[in-house]
Structure 1
């Protein structure tokens, strides 16, 4: 593609920076002023050809490089905005005894919230954007120049920066020199492995010490998927995860071979086996999850061989035995079928559904419950689910908590506005109404949120439905440590104003997230 030409005392083509040329190539070939002179060589005219496919692919390649270069420009803008934002700290922070965050952390969160709300992305996505831009622009200049030229992708940059975070500051330049040539010649997935190995060589701490720090970050996270589905991601030590994966495959193959007429695929069996193990440890009766449409009578009982595991399961924390919450707009639970009927729409058996008491909130419109409407039910912390699954869960509940709402505007009633301390019933009502955190672009379920007064109690606020809002701990502390603040609008929505003056509106009940 390139002809050999002389440009500013250097001959082309531009070296890729492979193993034999890496050190020589890294010094000059990313300089942007050279790129201006080399533009003709990099995009040499295409030889006349009748091959239209080749022409189309050449154009695709060029446009892809332009797109990658533009992503680098966005990163530069993010970092420039971060520096400017930090320099105005006195106009952003709230100083006082009640602040919950250190100044630097408050600034970091406030800026991430600005980016998240302006770009309409999640707080986590914004935080990653900010930290990745900060690292690549300041600590990995070679990789940054390659990105500006469209020679590496955002996936390469993300893999490199995430590894660089665990490399000491004074070793990051050597890390940059080593990984930049690799980024030009490797796919993102292979480069991720390369960057991890190079990080290992440059890190001054032993892998044992780093494992202890990393192990403290283990967690499980839930993600919403379409069509009534969701995913759970377990971040744990590699030996545990690989052991789980191996045991899942072994049991899935065994069950497939030993169960006559088993129609589930190995992937489906593996998913059901993992779900069974988790449900049993969380207090749900140990019964097999049947295939959809399978009645409890046709489900085989679990055998001793199926419980044989190589590792001991960890103890699960007990969450108590609160009854299910149920909102029907003032309608009782009459008309629900007997708990003895087969569970035809859920993958869980009636006994397992009966054990799903702690923290489950099902909202069913009254007309739908009575069979006169088709509006879907809502599972708290998730969203719309089919009415049959909702009915399965409701039919197993031992008791209900009705949420009384105003027939005019749907607001909750029977809350004493003159009491600062909220009862558990009032907290339940507010969480049921709000569904998620009330901060813009935040989808943390309300059941995991604090309940905050929009107008602070000390400033004349009251414990009325309009003045109470669910805020996750991150945004609750952000509100009280920085100049992010909210106001209730006449229609009940919240108007948020950022420290830089940007305004964002959120609707109660997650309506703007539907």
Structure 2
């Protein structure tokens, strides 16, 4: 064999193996798509059964006060979320997608069942078909499905937006006004002491905010002089500018006005403050930031020493039990409410991650039913799940130590543990 023949022979061998593996991957993707189509049928059957049960309860005078459709929607979403261990919003998306596939988008459902569409492609079609009148669905599918075999899911979604715009009976001005009502800001913890802060805004506001941050960040680059040069990247300066604006309302040297600094809770073990952090095998983290989780000892010491708006909580270095709640902040909440906020950290409904800081403190056994205002009869529930507890057949029981045991309308049981174990 000559030297010139080696690459061709090796390439042929590799290509044969790669081709076989790619065929197997494609077959598995088709199987996954087919299973997703079957899952959609099962999920929609769950929705129908729960709706039937809610209608029967309403006819029998056993309604909790909500509209039948609202009760069925909330019960179905919470049942599915708890069973699959996903967020309630993710469960609601599965319910909505499954209903659309089995009722209004039969062509898309058939393509998914045959493996011609991935579930990501399917979701792109379902999302963009949302709010289109049923009379437009047939043309919408006929236009998009042939193109789905040559486009990525992102590319198909972009094409679907164009088709949707052509078929939608409402003007884009009306839809923009409706969309503005859903504006929001969200926090998502990331790795290594970082987090994502995202905002869903009207496009012109988002662009204006981004441009302002970018312009300020660019102006901080400095000159070529080594003493004045800012060695941060533009991306880093953008992040720092936005942080300064949101925290203080000012950017150093910019002359912008001062705002209001937010208040947060940071739990700091005593030895962390002494620069004698817990041993590597200790289950207790160096410190914990409310709404995020573990942070480094250096950050915890800096916050405890220099940030007057932080509540400093001293904990036992081995068990993590709170030893003391500092009273060095203005307008300190009542002791019990703060104690519960530290214990719970989030809404205590299964799978919910909404912050306890903005949630209700609920009597597990209702006050009117002789429930006491005690730590072992109180827990944080966000407004949505607080109402769910009182309007549906979801039940909750305090099992001791801050543990809540929930029973779903289906009879399934779920347990939620406190974020922090506190000594009573």
Per the shorter chain, which TM-score range?
A: 0.7 to 0.9
1:507 aligns with 2:387: no
Contact between 1:92 and 1:482, CA under 8 Å: does it hold in 2? no
Post-superposition offset of 1:81: 1.2
Residues in 2 aligned to 1:186 and 1:469: alpha-carbon distance in whole angstroms: 49
Q: Is residue 265 from structure 1 mapped to residue 236 from structure 2 by the alignment? A: no
Instruction: Classify the secondary structure of the residue corresponding to 1:227.
Output: coil
Q: Is the 8 A contact 2:342 2:420 kept in 1?
A: no
Given that residues 452 and 476 in structure 1 are in contact (C-alpha distance below 8 angstroms), is that contact kept between their aligned partners in structure 2? yes
Partner of residue 231, structure 1: 196
**Structure 1 373/436 Cα, relative in aligned 2: closer, same or farther at 3 Å?**
same
Map residues 405-444 of structure 1 onto 2, 5 A cutoff.
410=321, 424-444=334-354
* RCO higher in structure (CA 8 A, sep ≥6): 1
Map of 2:273 onto structure 1: 369
CA separation of 1:138 and 1:98: change in aligned 2, threshold 3 A: closer
Q: Does the C-alpha gap of structure 1 residues 398 and 186 become closer, same or farther in structure 2, counting only changes over 3 Å?
A: closer
- Structure 2 counterpart of 1:383, from 272, 290, 293: 293
How many residues end up aligned between the 2 structures? 392
**In 2 relative to 1, CA 98–286 (structure 1 residues): closer, same or farther, beyond 3 Å?**
farther
Q: Separation in 1 of the partners of 2:320 and 2:368?
A: 28
Aligned to 1:278: 246
- For residues 60-459 of structure 1, the aligned pairs below 5 Å read 60-89=25-54, 99=64, 101-256=66-221, 258=223, 260-279=228-247, 284=248, 286-288=250-252, 301-302=253-254, 356=261, 358-374=262-278, 375-398=285-308, 410=321, 424-459=334-369
Alignment of 1:451-490 (within 5 A): 451-490=361-400
Please list the CA deviations of residues 451-492 of structure 1 after superposition, one character each: whole Å capped at 9, or x if unmatched. 001111122211110100000111111111100011111444
Task: Say which SS state the counterpart of residue 411 (structure 2) adopts.
Answer: coil
**Partner SS state of residue 191, structure 2:** coil
Kept in 2, the 8 Å contact 1:94–1:480? The answer is no
- 1:285 deviates by 5.5
Q: What is the distance in 2 between the residues matched to 1:241 and 1:503? A: 43
| CA–CA separation in structure 1 for the residues paired with 2:341 and 2:38 | 41
Q: TM-score under structure 1 normalisation? A: 0.69
Which residue in 2 is equivalent to 1:325? none
Gap regions ≥5 residues in structure 1: 1-47, 289-300, 308-312, 319-354, 415-422
Alignment correspondent of 1:497: 407
The answer to whether the 8 A contact 1:167-1:202 is kept is yes
TM-score, normalised with respect to structure 2: 0.83
More helix as a share of residues: 2
The CA distance in 2 between the partners of 1:98 and 1:429, in whole Å, is 35
In structure 1, distance between residues paired with 2:319 and 2:17 = 64
The structure that is strand-richer by fraction is: 2
Q: What RMSD in Å do the two structures reach over aligned CA positions?
A: 3.3
